[in-house]
Structure 1
Amino acid sequence: MISMAERTAVLVVAAFLLTRVKAFRSTLHRQASLREKALMVAIFSGISIMGTYMGIPYQDAIANSRVIGAVVAGLLAGPWVGLGTGLIAGAHRYSLGGFTDLACAVSTIVEGILAGLVFRWRKQREMSWSIGLGVGFVAEWIQMGIILLLARPWDQALELVKAISVPMSVVNSLGIAVFMIIIDLVKNEEDRIGALQAQRTLQVADKTLSFLREGLTPGSADKLAREIMRTTRVAAVAITDQERILAHVGKGSTHHVPGQEISTKATREVLSNKVMKLASSKEEIGCNEPHCQLRSAILVPLMLKHEAVGVLKLYQDRNSKLSAVDLELVRGLGTLISTQLELAALEQQARLLADAEIKALQAQINPHFLFNALNTIVSFIRFRPEKARELLLHLGEYFRRNLHHSGEFVTLEEELEHVEAYLAIERARFDEKLQVEYVIEPGAEKCLIPSLLLQPLVENAVKHGLLPKREGGLVTIQARVNGAGTLELTVKDNGVGFSGDPFFPHLANAQEKRRMSGIGLGNVRARIQTIYGSPYGIAIKSEAGRGTTCTITLPSGVKTYAKSVSR
């Protein structure tokens, strides 16, 4: 028993070394591919054969630890791996001869299948050391029974079983249990690394999500690198774009200077191949500075639309080594940053779309409004030059605000000044037919809103609501912050009104459809949805002969949110 224990200890050391193999680790998490399972058969067959060669010869037989490889293979990877291991190890034992050769070959196959069936039975639960101990003990006594059943002469087989049954069943079952304990420790180590990596990634993510709103810039890269440096234990953190260093924090910053062209061959290789790289030496990093303190690095590409737009790099110096946690951390951060760059690109596209819609809105408004305004001013020049001068000032103010605030966020007060410049000219055109009333709750005028939000609604109220009415009417502009914290803007008129919904094909006639579903209302609605999303937007209620009410709702905290989007 002592001799067998010594030999089994060698196999346990081999088991520990086996836990360093990637394919073996994959099997622990039920993720092994067919190719990896084939590799597992080869590895465990080798362990079983080693156990045979390290056995103790006794009466033309061998007291050995061959069972450890077959049983552990079945417990970890299932019946097919157990069967494959048993076949190879059993065939090898049969080739060595002896009166127990057939019995030992058959028992090895049976032991591998038995362990595989236990794997099937325990598939959804952890495989503990106690199960390994029990399966190993049962497997060894099954082997003793097969020897008694197949080995001849029977008297010699019985004498052999009496001598080896207790040492083999005790030592080998304990060896299997120790093997399973080592595996359990490896799994716990993997889980601990994963949990620590996830924790650090989430910490960095929580601090850096806002940095990349404008994409990968020197400013955002510097903030990101400093936060990663603060959260991790590395010697330096660097971020590049496709051509230059955007940020470098930590050791090596004297010669890895932001703004310089990329100098390391490892970075150029990652940009070219678009795959993560582990550089374990200064030579692999490829820095041209002879006194550079950086000795190892993990480099991961930052992807945008399947293109590498930059590289994130974590460095260590000669005093530390990059750990498995660092490897998983930078992998996770690379994915996180790439996702943020994708979102920033989408947000930029949404802003460009909104700006394009504003330009289209201006292209529709300006020519018609300018033509009417100039005609009105011409009519005042001869008889009321001061009024003409006043209208020219309003016209200039109107176009100045159009050009200056295109696509930006403005305060409600500024938007109302823009609307008033428009209304001043319209009042001059239609005199007493047009009346305007402002009902602005104190404090609401300081809230930020998208520019050109109210002007299209006011223009619709004047052109399509009041002017078709012989006696004209009143436009009321209201603003208030309601109890839910949302900003509510209302443009109301007591004009001719209409029936149906301006955004859907339920209007009474085609003329109403054309006039109310034009670019003005559609633009306002689409911009609100683009910026704020559901459930915010514009609601329109109208009744033929009674007038129309347009109500815009913006989210709570609109002031702060609009500032961040504007930046």
Structure 2
Amino acid sequence: MFWKLFQDLALNISLIVTLAYLMTRTKLFRRMLLGKANTQEKLFLVFFFGCLGIAGTYSGVEIKGALANSRVIGVAVGGLLGGPLVGIAAGLLAGGHRALLGGFTALACGIATLVEGGIAGYAGRKFSGNLTWKRSLFIGMGIEVVQMLIILLLARPYAAAWDLVKDIGLPMIIMNGIGISIFVTVIHDSLEEEERIGAVQAQKALYIANLTLPILRLGLTKETAHRVAQIIYEQTDVAAVALTDREQILAHVGSGSDHHEAGHVIQTLATHQALDSGELKLAATRIEIGCADPSCPLFSALVVPLHFQQSIVGTLKIYRERARGISPVDWEFGAGLGMLFSTQLELATLESQAHLVNRAELKALQAQVNPHFLFNAINTVVSFCRTDPEKARHLLLQLGDFFRKNLKSAEKFVTLREECEHIRAYLAIEQARFSERLCVREEITDEALNWRLPGLTLQPLVENAIKHGIYPMSTPGEIVISAFVEEDILVVRIGDNGVGIPAETLTRILTGVEVSTSGLGIGLQNVAQRLLILYGKKAEFVIESREGKGTEVTLRIPPAAAAERLGFLE
């Protein structure tokens, strides 16, 4: 009887593990594991795990007026994955059902099920994100020990309870502990596999985005669309790839290219819907694709809209050669790629603005946008497109704001407040790149904020501090921007605790000698030269630096009227 009990419980576990695998296929279950389930969904999960516990009761083995069962597995897993509320509620449902079935252990088993659900819930909260199979095993065996103790405490007559626990205690402790561990392991393995697939797809999308970046800089034309479609087709296993504008096919590469040709008018209803709604659309069958060629090998397609500012400028289409062949992985991949392409089209316009800035406003002042900054900014925005689209959008707006201020500020005077806003737009990109490695602190008086100074005076200094002071360090760095008015002079200090400037290099910078190492000194010399031209000797530009300790640049800027007499003020 003892060994048969092990066998019967093992059979019950195999059924429950099968249910565990099926559960991992549902979006609801994944939402719960990610902590995104709403109240209605949690109620459904309580009902599910409670019913799983009830199923464990009915599949139990009758022995000595009681049941050796796997009821605890459903309740415990509900608690481990859903938290205390789910565990307790599922335990109440399954335990209440057991109490109503009767028998000398009915009340004890009902209370034990409730207690087990609560313990599992609190254990799940404690080990959230680190619930290994070993922990699940020990938790499962531990709460089964609790159940045996409750039976001994509450079930009467005591002799019958002791006789029962001697027979069912060890089999239930071991087998239900194993069942809980297997259940949790199956679920986590399934999610890890899904995350791995998602990571591979994200990596592939970013790789494709990097390959297509220089192409989409030129805009969305037939030539660029064909080159982009060719890259996607070569890097994936899809049947075909197409790009359209709002009216016609710009490029089609892969199966069906003999009759899906560039210049043809868009026929697929899903494409028109995507252009109108701005949402991904699915053409699940050949009929929905709408191709008039009876030999067309394409049977399903995903249509991804491409956004530019507030409008939809075209679509990306991914085809499969079987009906309903677009998988959830294809959907996520297409959505990520479409978002990246949309961002690249936005950045193409920003880059065009940057070229205008270089040729016109900033040419005379030699305050041009560092191309490395633009490249890094693009890569930073791209990296957030899949993981945090809202942040990517925010950074894109900041980048646009940065270029707009560059365009407007190069040859005019602005307030320190406006100059600080320009710096913050620049820092939004840099802090997204460096994360915790870069801390920026402002110590600016209200009186200083209204002081007028030449535009683009401070941003090159902040950029220099980051690039040549903070970036080379392996530890976090800090930049402090302070400003105050002293004796009718604006005093601005920009300091960092970075690597500092070697004494020999600093001497060359101060004497105006060109420094060839990674552009160090160019931004500093430009600012110093501008102040000299505008204010003569009335303005001061001082650099103090100690190698390994950091650098501090101090500006002393007189009122704007001092430059107005020289005819530089608008």
Residues 1:62 and 2:90 aligned together? no
Determine the structure 2 residue equivalent to 1:310.
314
CA–CA distance in structure 1, aligned partners of residues 170 and 356 of structure 2: 80
- Residue equivalent to 1:187: 191
The residue that corresponds to 1:80 in the other structure is 85
Tell me, in whole angstroms, the C-alpha distance in 2 between the residues paired with 1:63 and 1:9. Answer: 16
What is the rounded CA distance, in whole Å, between the counterparts of 1:109 and 1:216 in structure 2?
Answer: 62
Closer, same or farther: CA 508–498 of 1 in aligned 2, 3 Å: farther
Counterpart amino acid of 2:349? A
Contact 2:239 2:255 in 1 (8 A): yes
Alignment of 1:480-499 (within 5 A): 483=516
Pick from 195, 207, 210: which aligns with 2:211?
Answer: 207
2:245 equivalent in structure 1 = 241
Larger mean CA deviation between 52-61 and 278-287 belongs to: 278-287
The CA distance in 2 between the partners of 1:284 and 1:35, in whole Å, is 35
Matched, 1:25 2:12: no
1:157 Cα deviation (Å)? 2.5
1:405-420 pair list within 5 angstroms? none
One-letter amino acid matched to 1:53: Y
> Which residue matches 1:40?
45
- C-alpha change, 1:45 and 1:277, in structure 2 (3 Å) is farther
Query: Which of these residues, 517, 522, 526, is aligned with residue 569 of structure 2?
Result: 517
Residue aligned with 2:247, SS = coil
Give the direction of change, closer, same or farther, for the CA distance of 1:288–1:164 in structure 2 (3 Å limit).
farther
Q: Does 1:269 align with 2:273?
A: yes
C-alpha separation in 2, matches of 1:33 and 1:319: 34
- 2:78 counterpart letter in structure 1: A
Contact 1:500/1:506 (<8 A) preserved = no
Is 1:106 aligned with 2:111?
yes
- 218-227 vs 305-314, which deviates more? 305-314
Matched with 2:420 is none
Amino acid at match of 1:119: G
AA in 1 matched with 2:149? G
Secondary structure at the aligned position of 1:210 is classed as helix
Q: Is 2:147 the partner of 1:143?
A: yes
CA separation of 1:215 and 1:8: change in aligned 2, threshold 3 A: same
Q: Residue 507 of structure 1: CA displacement?
A: 5.8
Contact 1:203–1:231, Cα closer than 8 Å, also in 2? no
Distance between the aligned counterparts of 1:483 and 1:30, measured in 2? Answer: 53
Matched residues in 2 for 1:279 and 1:158: separation? 65
Specify whether residues 36 and 303 from structure 1 end up closer, same or farther in structure 2 by C-alpha distance, changes over 3 A only.
farther
1:253-291 Cα deviation digits (max 9, x unpaired): 123221112111121222223222344432443444332
8 Å CA contact 1:265–1:287 kept in 2: the answer is no
- Which letter maps to 2:14? A
Whether the aligned pair in 1 keeps the contact of 2:285 and 2:323 (CA below 8 Å) is no
Q: For the residues of structure 2 that align with 1:171 and 1:105, how far apart are their CA atoms?
A: 20
Provide the C-alpha distance between the structure 1 equivalents of 2:202 and 2:321, rounded to a whole number of angstroms. 24
Deviations along 1:458-515, whole A, 9 cap, x unmatched?
Answer: xxxxxxxxxxxxxxxxxxxxxx9974687999x99xx9x97767xx8746668635x3
Are the counterparts in 2 of residues 196 and 325 from structure 1 also a CA contact under 8 Å?
no
Q: Confirm or deny: 8 A CA contact 2:251 2:262 kept in the other structure.
A: yes
* Residue matched to 1:9: 14
Are 1:176 and 2:180 matched, yes or no? yes
Alignment of 1:150-549 (within 5 A): 150-318=154-322, 321-348=325-352, 483=516, 506=559, 512-513=565-566, 515-518=567-570
Q: In 2, Cα distance between the equivalents of 1:4 and 1:201?
A: 47
User: Do the aligned residues in 2 keep the contact of 1:100 with 1:147 (CA within 8 Å)?
Assistant: yes
- In the alignment, is the contact (CA less than 8 A) between 2:563 and 2:569 conserved in 1? no
One-letter identity of the residue aligned with 2:131: M
Aligned to 1:563: none
CA RMSD of aligned residues (A): 3.4
- Structure 1, unpaired ranges of 5+: 359-406, 408-479, 519-567
Looking at structure 2, the residues matched to 484 and 355 of structure 1 have their Cα atoms a distance apart, in angstroms, of 25
Larger radius of gyration: 1
Q: CA 1:211–1:510 in 2, change beyond 3 Å: closer, same or farther?
A: closer
Shift of 1:233: 0.9
Q: Is the 8 A contact 1:23 1:39 kept in 2?
A: no
* CA deviations over 1:47-98 (Å, ceiling 9, x no partner): 2122122222334422211100111111112111111211121122223233
The change in CA–CA distance for 1:215 and 1:42 in structure 2 (over 3 A counts) is: farther
User: Which whole-Å CA distance do the structure 2 matches of 1:110 and 1:20 have between them?
Assistant: 29
User: Which residue is 2:389 aligned to?
Assistant: none
In structure 2, how many angstroms separate the alpha carbons of the residues matched to 1:122 and 1:313? 43
2:491 aligned partner? none
Q: 2:305 touches 2:316 (CA, 8 Å); kept in 1?
A: yes
Judging changes above 3 Å, is the alpha-carbon distance between structure 1 residues 319 and 354 closer, same or farther for their aligned structure 2 residues? same
CA displacement at 1:212 relative to structure 2:
1.4
Q: Which of 92, 95, 102 is the matching residue for 2:100?
A: 95
Identify the match of residue 54 of structure 2 among 49, 58, 66.
Answer: 49
* Alignment-mate amino acid for residue 250 of structure 1: G
SS in 2 for 1:211: helix
Alignment CA distance shift 1:333-1:184 (3 Å): same
**8 A Cα contact 1:500 1:507, kept in partner:** no
Q: Secondary structure at the match of 1:57?
A: strand
**What is the CA–CA distance in structure 1 between the aligned matches of 2:38 and 2:75, rounded to whole Å?**
19
Deviates more, 1:134-143 or 1:270-279: 270-279
- Rate the CA distance shift 1:38–1:210 in 2: closer, same or farther, 3 A: farther
**Relative to structure 1, is the Cα distance of residues 72 and 511 closer, same or farther in structure 2, using a 3 angstrom cutoff?**
closer
Counterparts of 1:507 and 1:60 in 2: how far apart (Å)? 97
3-state SS, counterpart of residue 294 of structure 1: coil
- Provide closer, same or farther for how the CA distance between residues 326 and 171 of structure 1 changes in structure 2, counting only shifts above 3 A: same
Report the CA distance shift for 1:218/1:516 in structure 2 as closer, same or farther (over 3 A): same
Q: How far apart, CA to CA, are the structure 2 residues paired with 1:57 and 1:499? A: 100
Deviates more, 1:343-352 or 1:155-164: 343-352
TM normalised by structure 1 equals: 0.62
- Aligned partner of residue 10 in structure 2, secondary structure: helix
Q: Distance in 2 between matches of 1:14 and 1:508?
A: 79
| Count of aligned residue pairs for this structure pair | 393
Deviation at 1:176, TM superposition (A): 1.1
Match of 2:125 in 1: 120
Task: State which drifts further: 227-236 or 2-11.
Answer: 2-11
Q: Is the 8 A contact 2:88 2:118 kept in 1?
A: yes
Amino acid of the structure 2 residue aligned with 1:127? L
Does structure 2 conserve the Cα–Cα contact (< 8 Å) formed by 1:70 and 1:82? yes
SS in 1 for 2:214: coil
Q: 1:113 to 1:279 in 2, by over 3 A?
A: farther
Q: 1:38 to 1:288 in 2, by over 3 A?
A: farther
**TM-score where L is the length of structure 2:** 0.62
Q: 1:498 to 1:20 in 2, by over 3 A?
A: closer
Counterparts in 2 of 1:278 and 1:162: CA distance versus 1, 3 Å: farther
- Judge conservation of contact 1:302–1:334 (CA < 8 Å) in 2: yes
> Please, which moves more after superposition, 67-76 or 274-283?
274-283
Provide closer, same or farther for how the CA distance between residues 355 and 22 of structure 1 changes in structure 2, counting only shifts above 3 A.
Answer: same
Match for 1:56: what amino acid? Answer: V
Unmatched 5+ stretches in structure 2:
363-406, 408-512, 540-556
Moved more, 90-99 or 199-208: 90-99
1:11 deviation in Å? 1.0
Q: 1 CA distance for matches of 2:210 and 2:132?
A: 37
In 2, are the aligned partners of 1:263 and 1:288 still within 8 Å (CA)?
Answer: no
Q: Distance in 2 between matches of 1:108 and 1:37?
A: 19
